[in-house]
Copies of this chain bind each other. A is one copy, B any other.
Amino acid sequence: MPPRKPHSRASGRVTLADVAARAGVSAISVSRTLQSPAQVSAALRARIQAAIAELGYVPDHAARSLASARSGTVVVLVPSLGNAVFVETLTAIQAVLQPRGWQMLIGNTRYSPAEEEALLLAWLGHRPDGILLSGLDQTGRTRALLAGSGAPVVHMMEIDATGACCSVGSGQEAAGAAMAGHLLARGYRRIAFIAVQLDPRTRQRREGWRQVMRDAGCYEPARDLESPQPSSVGLGVEMLEQLLAQAPDSDAVFCCNDDLAHGVLFECQRRGIDVPGRLAVAGFNDLPASAWTHPRLTTIAIPRTGIGQEAARLLTELMAGRTPAQRTIDLGFELKARDST
């Protein structure tokens, strides 16, 4: 009977030691060619690269992470993947992080602070080097977890007026106010607002609209609609129905996002309501389709690519241990005045 080692737990995979043996060098030299090639002579490096290719070696992330206390990952939590805003933000983040050697761990919170907390707890086990969150409304426990993790955090989409945390985004309230101003400037007075899925950003947009409407003496609660349901084109159809029942003389409707506005637009076509003659329609977010609807939709574009880029850039600064020039970056917004108003 052959003497079997009692504690054999080898995984059977190609390891760094295998590569080192093949190249006739020590393990650390292999590690160095991968991590900091400049420290290794060209000759050795070539030999090692050849061995890596021959054996098909793939470095073990867990071992590296454990030994170096750097995971090379960044957690990114967004409220939705069905929304082009967040998808494009993710794309922009990736464009910054990937070339610098970081991988994204993506989590979908579904607009729920509780789910955000659960997701964060799960991803925190990966010891991320940095964390990107959407919005500023975290639960107390989430905040505690973040503090305990030791990883730098950047908040996206909203901006933190207090400067207590790092944030990159747009002023949602100002954007809501801007659209209200635009509609008033075009001569509309009986302007309705449709709010759904009342996340903090929606609330802020509505607050901006309300303020401007009150200041203009045009605010009427009957035109201030809301639904707790998640946003969708179909819900826009429903909400238009509700608006027409509740305040049929409205001459404009500001939808808290473009999906909703599309639904409103489609239902107006179906009912033969002239847009913008009889009813003006405005949205928020400038989805790709909004430039092509009939009529083309007036909406507000927030710089989602810029937000992703800047947030990722800011995070890399923090992860490098540097103190950023500014902790709060307001990237503004753009009102796209098109044919629907």
Cross-chain contact of A294 among B103, B108, B122, B269 (Cβ < 8 A)? B269
Is the beta-carbon distance between A126 and B292 smaller than 8 angstroms?
A: no
Query: Which of A58, A63, A64, A233 has its CB near the most chain B CB atoms (within 10 A)?
Result: A58
* Cβ of A136 under 8 Å from chain B: no
Mask: chain A, 115-140; 1 = CB below 8 Å from B; 0 = not: 00000011111110000000000000
Q: How far is A94 from B109 in the complex, measured between Cα atoms in Å? A: 12
Given A11-B69, A90-B81: A60 and B270 interface contact (C-beta under 8 Å): no
Q: How far is A149 from B56 in the complex, measured between Cα atoms in Å? A: 10
* Cβ of A266 under 8 Å from chain B: yes
Is the beta-carbon distance between B125 and A58 smaller than 8 angstroms?
A: yes
Q: How far is A131 from B81 in the complex, measured between Cα atoms in Å? A: 21
**Shortest distance between the CB of A118 and any CB in chain B (Å):** 9
Is the beta-carbon distance between B58 and A121 smaller than 8 angstroms?
A: yes
* Cβ of A262 under 8 Å from chain B: yes
Main secondary structure of the interface of A (DSSP, over half): helix
Cross-chain contact of A60 among B63, B64, B127, B266 (Cβ < 8 A)? B127
Mask: chain A, 263-307; 1 = CB below 8 Å from B; 0 = not: 100110110000000000000000011011110000000000000
Within 8 A of B (CB), among A53-71: 56, 58-66, 69, 71
A and B contact pairs by CB, cutoff 8 A, 16 listed: A56-B145, A56-B148, A58-B124, A58-B148, A60-B66, A61-B62, A62-B63, A62-B126, A81-B87, A82-B84, A82-B88, A91-B108, A103-B122, A103-B123, A236-B292, A262-B289
Residues of chain A touching chain B, judged by Cβ–Cβ distance below 8 Å, are 9, 11-13, 56, 58-66, 69, 71, 81-82, 84, 87-88, 90-91, 94, 103, 105-106, 108, 121-127, 144-145, 148-150, 232-234, 236-237, 259, 262-263, 266-267, 269-270, 288-289, 291-294
Q: Which 5 A-B pairs have the closest CB atoms?
A: A61-B125, A269-B294, A62-B65, A62-B62, A233-B289
